[in-house]
Amino acid sequence: MIRQRSILVVLLLSGCSSPYGADDGRADDAPPRREVDAGSSATDAGIPEATPDAGADAATDPCEPACEAGFVCKAGACVRPASCAEWRAVDASPSGLRTIADATTGEQQVYCDMETDGGGFTLLMRISAGVSGDPFTILTGAPRNDGVAAQITPFVTSDHYVSRLVARWGNGLAPEKVRAHVYDAGKVQKVALEFSGSESTPTTFFAASRLISSPWTDVGTPTFFSASGDPGNKRRFFIGRGYQTCETDTGWLLLRGSRGLLDPQPACGYELPADRVRIFYAAGATATTWSGPHGEGSSFAIFVR
């Protein structure tokens, strides 16, 4: 015992560290420290460099791996686009069916117009000529053919189409622009109207005060310019003037709803047959007299963006 204590005293006096424990704060089994010269790097000294934070790229590309076709990245998750406008940002495909996911109405198929005015317009309604019905009550009624792919088109079919998104218009759906188009049986656009959609609803967007552009130069202040039009005569989405006799009825656009034999207001000759929807429009740059030459369309469609 005396011999061990003597050795310990000698070691301490000579400046050597104790063999029984470290005094530099390191664990007993820690590797010895390695000093790095001022001109050398940590790597040169065998010390591994710090690796980049795995989440560093998340701010610039939060979805890894990238979202598959038909989805967009939001808040780090791949989700369906909420509109045709969002589809436009990720898909350059031509107009046609797309799947969107509205926060309230859920996932659904819609028709996206990807060419007109930069694209990104969602079809909300289509009226087919030759089919019975009242265009205004169809617009304000329940969804129609909402899940039938063959009916989700701006072109004429055997029935009408109303998206469930119409019920969201003015109640969560706030379009900046609204477009109303007339097409012929060959799917050629014959009339294009553009409206401001700001603070609009399905029944208020169609107004002279909201009109941005049209193919006519003399719309001015018409006698009628509204979606409800002349309810007694079932003249809807009606832009008209000179409203006195069948021979002198003049205007730019008219969707005539179907009328029964017992309808209190008889149809004008140019409206016959009256048991189906008819779509009339002024084919030139100015108003036309309906009893004379005028254009007749096969479908009427409403889009929003």
Tell me how long the chain is: 305
**Tens-place pLDDT, residues 149-160:** 999 999 999 999
- Output the CA torsion sign for 114, 119, 125, 129: negative
Residue 237 falls inside a structural domain: yes
pLDDT: is 36 or 163 the higher one? 163
**Predicted confidence (pLDDT) per residue in 164-205, tens digit:** 999 999 999 999 999 999 999 999 999 999 999 999 999 999
| 2 inside domain | no
Residue at 253 is within a domain: yes
Domain enclosing residue 242, as ranges:
82-305
Instruction: Dump strand ranges (E) for the chain.
Output: 72-74, 77-79, 96-102, 106-113, 121-128, 161-162, 177-183, 189-196, 211-213, 224-226, 235-241, 250-256, 278-281, 288-289, 295-297, 299-304
* 50 belongs to a structural domain: no
The span from the CA of 8 to the CA of 302, in Å, is: 97
pTM strictly above 0.75: yes
d(CA 303, CA 119): 11
What is the pLDDT at residue 89? 87
Q: Answer whether 84's CB lies under 8 Å from 112's CB.
A: yes
Confidence of residue 29 (pLDDT cuts 50, 70, 90): very low
Q: Is residue 47 part of a domain?
A: no
Contact 274, 151 (CB under 8 A): no
How many CA atoms within 13 Å lie on the side-chain side of 218? 11
* Residue at 21 is within a domain: no
Host H or E run for residue 13: helix 2-13
Domain membership of residue 189 (yes or no) is: yes
Q: Which range among 9-23, 88-102, 276-290 has the greatest average pLDDT? A: 276-290
Q: What pLDDT was estimated at residue 61?
A: 54
Would you say residue 243 lies in a domain? yes
pLDDT digits (tens, 9 = 90+) for 42-78: 334 343 343 333 333 334 458 988 998 889 999 899 9
Closest alpha carbon to 295 in 275, 281, 284: 281
The closest alpha carbon to 243, from 201, 198, 171, 291, belongs to 291
Phi-psi region of 75 (alpha: psi -120 to 50; beta: other; left: phi over 0): left
Position 91 pLDDT exceeds 80: yes
Number of domains the chain contains: 1
| Residue 27 to residues 23, 31, 32, 214, Cα–Cα distance (Å) | 9, 9, 10, 83
